Chains A and B, each alone.
Chain A
């Protein structure tokens, strides 16, 4: 059931490279309907649809954090002069749509307080507004589920890209996707949460996953498993990168098998690690580890360079 007459408002926050037909694009959309709970097929209107001001504030937060504009924030990947002018950022606020499957971009998890994207719904939904994005944030006003999550991009491996090697294995930073990177973001998100989730969403199921570093998980581009920890973490496209033997001062818990790449700034946890534990309570000072930074930068540059 709809809650009002359908209406939409599209804002171009950054034009990106307007000479290209398909510039690298980040879309921020208000989630029209929530699946409560995940897999139930029960859809309700997302409260965000009744709060345009909160959505606008969240969209501004996302853009600011991605480009390194939060107070005390460390230099951000997207602020790189070779990248920033090429990135298009668009927001879409929609209201009044029916709470049906096709309009539902976010689900409330059944076993946690995570909000999770319904990733296959994004492309057709945005296409109906003439939009598409490489990474898409769906902002939700769920009142019970307040923790962000993201799915990696499903690359179109039949399309070209920029090749690279990781520990001698050939991969490719693909120009195009089958399913874009998608992020479910609670409207009240703060600090570098939007940046952390962007790291996941920009990475790829088939060409390198950037995984959470605060769990004993892996393998991913940024996480491996072995004990003792070897001095070299990886050979990324001909460059040998070192391991982080101490996990940026947080320490690897006893029993963990995973280990991470060396940090660019050793004083703070990596962005993909538990940034809430940053010294002095300033997560904004965190940066990516070395391989994550280079991998994401190369992936962005590849997508930016597409014809």
Chain B
């Protein structure tokens, strides 16, 4: 997963509580460390569901009006 550019981190952090961006990034990255096409143990399934719920909460907090609310996010790639 591509790291966020510093300007994007700055913009997101402005709308967030301390630690929110770091937690959001960690949870996003963690998603890729489980093979999505291998059957998971029930405990891992529950962990995955909880992670998605937390990501959704953080996403709404960091992007209150969707992706367009953080201009530098879209400008990251010209």
Contact = CB atoms under 8 A, between A and B. Distances in A.
Query: Do chains A and B interact in one complex?
Result: yes
B2 A193 contact: yes
Nearest to A118: B36
B10 to A, nearest CB: 12
Interface of B: 1-6, 22, 24-26, 28-30, 32-33, 35-38, 52, 55-56, 58-59, 67-68, 73-74, 76-78
A216 B28 contact: no
Nearest to A145: B67
Contact of B3 (A110, A112, A146, A214): A214
Interface stretch (A65-73, A78-86, A149-157, A233-241): A149-157
A164 interface: no
A50 B69 CA distance: 27
Q: Can you list the 7 inter-chain pairs with the closest CB atoms, starting with the nearest?
A: A188-B77, A111-B59, A215-B26, A146-B77, A148-B2, A205-B35, A111-B55
Contact of B77 (A190, A209, A215): A190
A10 interface: no
B1 A148 contact: yes
Given A154-B38, A212-B1, A186 B77 contact: yes
Contact of B33 (A189, A209, A276): A209
A149 B77 contact: no
Given A147-B76, A149-B32, A209-B33, 5 more contacts: A145-B67, A212-B1, A212-B3, A217-B30, A274-B3
B22 to A, nearest CB: 7
Nearest to B62: A112
A145 to B, nearest CB: 7
